[in-house]
Amino acid sequence: MVQAAARYTALTLAFVTWLSISPVAASSLHVLVGLHKPPYIDLTSNSGYEIELMELIGAHMGVHVNFTHVPNGRIGETLSADAFDASSLQKEETGPNDYYYSCPYIQYQNMVVTRQQDRLTINSLEDLLGLSVLAFQTANIVLGEDFSNAIERAEDYNETVDQSAQVEMLLRGRVQAIVIDRNILNHYLLTSDNPSPLNRLTIATTNYQVAFKDPNLRDRFNEAQSQVWQTPEYQELQQKYFGDINQNLEMFCEV
């Protein structure tokens, strides 16, 4: 009888211990995200669309989300460290095979933008020939082969992590074209002291996923996100940071 009770106690302790370390039962989710990139991430206020979206999904998962900020180019590779559960801004087709990828959670709509006063005709990537172009960091990687081929024929091509400077350089005529996400562009135009009418050509729409180490966490994230999509908070979050509704991702996900 004593042996049976001891065995029961040991099994109970083992089960409780398993619950405490199991990712499925974890009360927090540690996610790698990028650096300062309003309106998605604002380090000055620890806010932004991506931060609040993750927190909203986490609430539906029943977990508290902790964030670690690293440069975009290092987000995926840093996930291998034991301290982290997931990494943002990933794409399954280009990411490691040993992770589990969520449904798309965020969409970037990248544009080539020029000033109307410069009278440049940009109808395709081919029209970047001979222009000075300033793109966001890693654009030559994430925007695909057609973009990489086009920028080889640009007169002067550079990338920057400072997207506020990117917009200002265009508005001041220091570059002829920039490549930037529509929501980031609109954010900085609202705060610019040098407004100018612009031409915009959408060249790529990129749906990003969250990479998880554990498939159960990935499944819980997908289920929670599908719930969030049906809430008024999801629409309100987009209005708050983007001024419109432009994140329609349900068509890319089946839970």
Share of the chain above pLDDT 90, in %: 76
Query: Do 47 and 120 belong together in one domain?
Result: no
Asked if pLDDT for residue 17 goes beyond 50, the answer is no
Distance CA 40, CA 55 (A): 13
Half-sphere exposure of 244 (CA within 13 A, CB side): 6
Q: Which of 206, 223, 240 is a domain's end point?
A: 206
At 74, is the secondary structure helix, strand, or coil? helix
Range from 25-34, 75-84, 102-111, 156-165 carrying the lowest mean pLDDT: 25-34
Asked if pLDDT for residue 123 goes beyond 60, the answer is yes
1: confidence class by pLDDT, cuts 50, 70, 90: very low
Q: Which of 171, 189, 206 is a domain's end point?
A: 206
Place of tokens 């544009």: 111
Q: What is the pLDDT of residue 229?
A: 97
Domain, as residue range, for 180: 108-206
142: confidence class by pLDDT, cuts 50, 70, 90: confident
Q: Tell me the pLDDT tens digit for each residue of 227-243.
A: 999 999 999 999 999 99
Place of tokens 């620890």: 46
Range from 1-5, 19-23, 81-85, 149-153 carrying the lowest mean pLDDT: 19-23
Query: Two tokens at 199?
Result: 């031409």
Query: Do 142 and 67 belong together in one domain?
Result: no
Distance CA 28, CA 26 (A): 6
Per the CB < 8 A criterion, the answer to whether 120 and 220 are in contact is no
User: What is the number of structural domains in the chain?
Assistant: 2
Query: Do 216 and 146 belong together in one domain?
Result: no
Asked if pLDDT for residue 19 goes beyond 50, the answer is no
Query: Do 115 and 42 belong together in one domain?
Result: no
Query: Do 77 and 99 belong together in one domain?
Result: yes
- Count of Cβ atoms closer than 10 Å to residue 36 Cβ: 15
Half-sphere exposure of 188 (CA within 13 A, CB side): 20
Angle at 110 between CA 186 and CA 234, to 5 degrees: 65
Query: Do 127 and 196 belong together in one domain?
Result: yes
Query: Do 181 and 212 belong together in one domain?
Result: no
Query: Two tokens at 70?
Result: 């690293």
Per the CB < 8 A criterion, the answer to whether 209 and 91 are in contact is yes
Query: Do 30 and 86 belong together in one domain?
Result: yes
6: confidence class by pLDDT, cuts 50, 70, 90: very low
Query: Do 65 and 137 belong together in one domain?
Result: no
Sign of CA dihedral 243, 90, 139, 65: positive
Q: Which of 174, 190, 206 is a domain's end point?
A: 206
Query: Do 52 and 160 belong together in one domain?
Result: no
Residue range 244-254: average pLDDT? 91
219 Rama sector, left if φ>0, alpha if ψ -120 to 50, beta otherwise: alpha
Q: What is the CATH number of the domain that holds 200?
A: 3.40.190.10
137: confidence class by pLDDT, cuts 50, 70, 90: confident
SS3 assignment for 103-154? CCCEEEEEEEEEEHHHCCCCCCHHHHCCCEEEEECCHHHHCHHHHHHHHCCC
Residue range 13-40: average pLDDT? 67
